[in-house]
Amino acid sequence: MKPLVLYCKSYCTDLRRVQRLARSIQQYNTEQLPFYVSVPQADLALFSQQLSGLQVELLADEDILRASSQIDPVQVLSMPGNISQQVIKSEFWRLNICQAYVCLDSDAIFIRPFGRADFVALDGTPYTMLDEAHELLEDAMRHKRMRVVDAFYDEAALVQQLVGRVGRAYSFGPFPLVWHRTVWESLEKNYLQPRGVTFADVITLAPIESRWYGEALLAYRAIPLLPCQSLFKVYHYAWQFDQDQRAAIRSSELARYYCGVIYQSAWERDMDWPREGGNWMSRSGRRLRRWLGRI
């Protein structure tokens, strides 16, 4: 079993983004950490063809789901895509490929050389993102986006209530995150099995997989807690990107603190495979909003 791998759950619309991610990994992966990408079985041939020549190991989402005797793959794959992908990402550990994995999104890009020390301690314990998201929440208030603040505290309270933790509201993100298999195992042993439910069941109650992992770590202490801040610079909202652009902050400056950058895929719909969706009016509207910095 490998100590650490990189993993990305994707699908055909994000193919070009995965190509970009894979090229950045090939450029900066100084220790040759294995890179796995899982996609629906129906997309495997396309990804195999389009990622030819890149160091990527492809898997079918269905094989990940079948690794659990309790989960019904048909049930999961019938869920909305934003929910089913959380189940698949959180079940990757069951393939027994690795002890820990860096869970990446398709729109991630590495911007500097990286290796194990960026993600885990010398003994293999992952660094866990944990803070109170004050910077994001202050930014949201400054831009009159109180719905962002309300959503953060509502989501935190929901999962804390479900696992029975009383205390401060933490953020366990943003992606990419480093997850250890023993934390997922502890959630299964201490929470899922006693209630006769699966992760696919509970994700429908609270569809925030990073919170389930983080709260399980705090509750069951399967691994030591080694807090860290974001591994990547993530532009959640257009105003954040606009601020850095106005301040002339570029990748070379960000590389001092981050391994990579994530630009929301909604801002890059021209990268959709095989082309940006929608009619010409909706495409033109999105491009105008992007040009104005509003998406």
Q: Which SS3 state, helix, strand or coil, does residue 235 take?
A: strand
149-179 residue pLDDT tens: 999 999 999 999 999 999 999 999 889 999 9
> What domains are defined for the chain?
2-263 (3.90.550)
pLDDT digits (tens, 9 = 90+) for 9-40: 999 999 999 999 999 999 999 999 999 999 99
- Return the bridge partners of 129, or none: 228
pLDDT at 289: 57
Contacts for 40 with CB less than 8 Å, ≥ 6 apart: 11, 12, 60, 61, 62, 77
User: 24 forms bridges with which residues in the sheet?
Assistant: none
Q: What is the pLDDT of residue 182?
A: 98
pLDDT at residue 244, rounded to an integer: 81
Sign of the CA dihedral running 233, 237, 243, 245:
positive
Looking at residue 44, its amino acid is: L
Q: What is the pLDDT of residue 142?
A: 86
What whole-number distance in Å separates Cα of residue 238 and Cα of residue 133?
17
CA R_g for the chain: 19
Q: How would you write the pLDDT of the chain (295 residues) with one tens digit per residue?
A: 999 999 999 999 999 999 999 999 999 999 999 999 999 999 999 999 999 999 999 999 999 999 988 899 999 999 999 999 999 999 999 999 999 999 999 999 999 999 999 999 999 999 999 999 888 888 889 888 899 899 999 999 999 999 999 999 999 988 999 999 999 999 999 999 999 999 999 999 998 999 999 999 999 999 999 999 999 998 876 667 777 878 778 888 899 999 999 977 666 777 888 876 655 555 555 556 555 555 4
Give Cβ neighbours of residue 136 (< 8 Å, ≥ 6 apart): 148, 152, 171, 236
Tell me what pLDDT residue 247 has: 79
CB of 190 within 8 A of CB of 221? no
Per-residue model confidence (pLDDT) at position 130: 94
pLDDT at 43 (0 to 100): 97
Is 104 strand, coil or helix?
A: strand
Report yes or no: 240 and 200 within 8 Å, Cβ to Cβ: no
> What pLDDT does 270 receive?
75
pLDDT for the residue numbered 280: 52
Q: Shortest CA distance to 180 belongs to which of 123, 111, 231, 113?
A: 123
- Look at residue 283 in the predicted model and tell me its pLDDT: 55
